[in-house]
Structure 1
Amino acid sequence: MSKRYINMKITELYIYPIKSLGPLPVQRARLLRESVEHDRRFMLLKVQPDGAYSQSPRHDLRCYSINVLTENIQITYFPECALFHQRLDGSDIVVAYRVPSPPIFTPETPEQQTELRVPLAPKLEDRELVEVSVGLSPTIAYRMGYPYDQWFTGCFGFEAILVYIGDKGREVLAHKPRDHYLWRQQQPRQNGWISSITAHVPSLGGGGSERNKKKNEPDQLTFNDIAPFLVTSRASLRDVSKRLPKGEDMDIRRFRPNIVVDDDTGSSDSDKLVAWEEDYWGELSVTQRTGGEHRLALTANCGRCVSINVDLDKGRPSEGESGIVLKKLMADRRVDEGNKYAPVFGRYAFLAPPREGERERDDDNVVEIAVGDEIHVTKRLDYRDSWAWPKY
């Protein structure tokens, strides 16, 4: 991949306070080590009709309460999640459900015509604890209870519960930036997927020595799947839109990004952002309009699933060509040797650790960014990273 300088900027920012529900666009955001502030700190779980929480073999959806199993409600398997819209109002998340035409189920319920207010920082005392697992990384969460469970149950048409991560966290299992950087510095580049896997999995020899474990605090997540942030490119989105019939454009929200970038308006043709160029980005630098500069480490590709086929207005798989976008991307975007059956769109990112010889600053753990901030590629790879999440 040729190395060149591109004038880019952040064009959109999104957060998802309640995991898998509709995206919330914001103009400014605070990047924390574990997530964007307020991002995916709540999640929904499905309850079986007999009162036991259900278990799904489809993915890593097994979760446990005191005596029972739960199933994560994720848009991949519950496309009606797209019908829930979120906004922030002071110290609350306000959630509204929009009944599609035709409705998902009938008769409609009173909850579907009301809004629900969820405190961003609810009290934790006396709440039931629920064990939850996302991406094979477990944690303990707090059950929100009434009236939240009742409202979501009325909107979904099946019994659901809302949980909050609170003061807990989930371990990052692979693609940690410290391990990633350490491996790149210490090892010569090798061909093949084995060398890429060992770069991320300590048991196979990459990063994560006892010395580094003691030196660095454990990397944590909220209910985000793999990493704190997901970065996508408008240039790649335009390439996806070209695969659709004339007059149809792919909606970036189907890819559920946190940070969307594009080339700066007025850039010369030689400085234009090229589709799929982000496959080779190892590090980005964000220049704030206030003058500050911070780095993001991009350590893994985002392999896609059927969620990108969902009609966001109807809460169902899309009809026509937009309903087979995943299949269209299968033709030429299965480019990750470690995740061969999932087409890639976007890159997972972390706040970058200090460079060799640098001391960690207080503001390295909280970074404020905004739509319009300049963003530049400060490290490029001459190969694509390879997926190395633990198998289940």
Structure 2
Amino acid sequence: MPERDMKIKITELYIYPIKSLRPISVRSAQLRREGLRHDRRFMLLRAEADGRYTNIQVSRFPECALFAQALDGCGHVVVTYQGEEENEEKGAPRLRVPLDPAAEDLQRNGAVDVLLFGSAARAFRVGDECDAWFSARLGYRAVLVYIGDNRRPVLAHAPPSSSLSSSSGSKGLSLFSYAASFLPSYLYQQQGRGTQEDGGEEGLAFNEAAPFLLTSRASLRDVEGRMMPNGEAVDMIKFRPNIVVDQIPSSSSSSSSSSDGIEVLGAWDEDFWGEIAIGDPAAAAQRHRHRLALTANCARCVSIDIDYATGRRTDVVLKRLMRDRRVDAGSKWSPIFGRYAFLLPSSAGGGSSSSNEEQGDTLSTTAAAAADVAVGDEVEVTKRLSERDVWAWPT
């Protein structure tokens, strides 16, 4: 069989309107500075007896995996609990939460200070109806909060200003850029607010350390190979990514990889990606491609061992990765799977610096406020690192 041209493309996109519940798979999405549109704007908290709140995250509360969410197309996220039918004691089997709650309702319900991953913001209670619905199913008092236009500061690994104007064809980071990538963000950026019209705000919603998380199918296949001798499948949603990439034949729209082409994406290649461009460089309509800076590794915890069918923890995947994937000196006790990313100013053209010069392409001087992406979009690695990033988020 003749070899086919292989391309790296987006094969899956996921959003998590309510943090830690099951993801929503979407065919297209809007990249915004704070993350994918509707991603992690809500979060559940457990109300403690002493009046404090505990963040409900799937790593500590695996029962979150039993809640599914979907968009209804009418401005709501619809939440269901696995296997539940009509139950008078627990109320309606579905909860409809407005994606943009009314400001007057939020003001009436009150605010809650949230500290997530060491980064703080004020959130707003969505309302008693939501709290009661979740509490009835979780078995303890839970509160649903919404971050609104507030943002949590990025404490490290935000792309340094020097990278915003660097050539997309450079190989690796300069010493200044490498060092600057570890500086706390308060030294070079301020926490800000914006409006829906400007496409997003600086800072984070309830995503943990960066607006986006990218993973690859090639690396997942390596993980599945470690499950031998049974060759058990591992669901990508265990790793809770936003953007998943794989190599597929350029002539095919299939999201599965093919073995009859030249390999362009090996397992763990993304460890050394510093920047990517999304979009077909040959298509006039996508001449200005969308760029993401990949600035840090994602260290993994027990959350990747949650069984989404039962809402219980197993002890399989994390152990397999501990053998040889503890590759980040700044997070030496945790295996790495995936890369954190930030939206960069838009790039005209992309590709190598030599091809940019031939085409007369230059970087836009206006920061990209929002960008539309879709499954099937081509991904080009435009900057590679000579060494892996080192985790430096303050603890």
Does residue 327 (structure 1) correspond to residue 319 (structure 2)? The answer is yes
CA contact (8 A) 2:156 2:181 kept: no
Structure 2: gaps of 5 or more residues: 195-200, 250-257, 349-361
Of the structure 1 ranges 287-296 and 78-87, higher mean CA displacement relative to structure 2 is found in 287-296
Amino acid at match of 1:139: A
Number of the residue aligned with 1:58: none
Q: Distance in 1 between matches of 2:136 and 2:324?
A: 42
Distance 1:335-1:86 versus aligned 2 partners, 3 A rule: same
Q: Which residue of 2 aligns with 1:296?
A: 292
CA distance change for structure 1 residues 213 and 153 in 2, over 3 Å: closer, same or farther?
A: closer
1:154, 1:247 → 2: CA distance?
Answer: 38
**What are the Cα deviations for residues 4-23 of structure 1, in whole angstroms up to 9, with x where unaligned?**
x9611100000000000001
Q: Is residue 374 of structure 2 the alignment partner of residue 370 of structure 1?
A: yes
SS at structure 2 position matched to 1:297: strand
Residues 99-110 of structure 1: matches in 2 within 5 Å?
A: 99=83, 110=89
Cα pair 2:297 2:389 within 8 Å, conserved: yes
Match of 1:73 among 56, 62, 65: 56
Equivalent residue, structure 2, for 1:227: 210
State the secondary structure of the residue aligned to 1:278. helix
Q: In the alignment, does 2:68 pair up with 1:123?
A: no
Is contact 2:10–2:245 with CA below 8 Å preserved after alignment?
yes
Output the TM-score relative to the length of structure 1: 0.81
Task: For residue 213 of structure 1, report the CA deviation from its aligned partner.
Answer: 6.4
1:313 to 2:309 alignment: yes
| CA contact 1:300–1:349 (8 Å) conserved in 2 | yes
Alpha-carbon shift at residue 47 of structure 1 (Å): 1.4
Q: Is the 8 A contact 1:6 1:376 kept in 2?
A: no
Do the aligned residues in 1 keep the contact of 2:278 with 2:291 (CA within 8 Å)? yes
Aligned to 2:10: 10
Deviations 1:43-88 (A, max 9, x none): 000012x3x3xxxxxxxxxxxxxxx321000000000100000000
Does the CA-based 8 Å contact 1:287-1:373 persist in structure 2?
yes
CA deviations on 1:291-341 (whole Å, 9 max, x unpaired) are 2511111000000000000000100013xxxx3211110100000011101
Aligned to 1:171, the other structure's residue is in SS state coil
Contact 1:180–1:200 at 8 Å: present in 2 too? no
The answer on 1:142 being equivalent to 2:124 is yes
Tell me the amino acid that sits aligned with residue 286 of structure 2: G
Q: In the aligned structure 1, how far is the partner of 2:38 from the partner of 2:259?
A: 34
User: For 1:324-363, what aligned pairs fall within 5 Å after superposition?
Assistant: 324-353=316-345, 358-361=363-366
Q: How much does 1:127 deviate?
A: 2.7
Count of residue pairs the alignment pairs up = 348
CA distance in 2, matches of 1:330, 1:348: 20
Partner of 2:79: 95
Aligned to 2:351: none
Deviations 1:220-272 (A, max 9, x none): 11000000000000000000001113241111000000000000235754334
Q: Which of these residues, 85, 90, 97, is aligned with residue 111 of structure 1?
A: 90
Q: Percent identity between the aligned chains?
A: 48
Equivalent position of 2:224 in the other structure: 241
Measure the CA separation in 2 of the matches of 1:247 and 1:369: 33
Q: In the alignment, is the contact (CA less than 8 A) between 2:124 and 2:145 conserved in 1?
A: yes
Letter in 1 for 2:296: A
Normalising by structure 2, what TM-score? 0.81
- Aligned-residue Cα RMSD (Å) equals 3.0
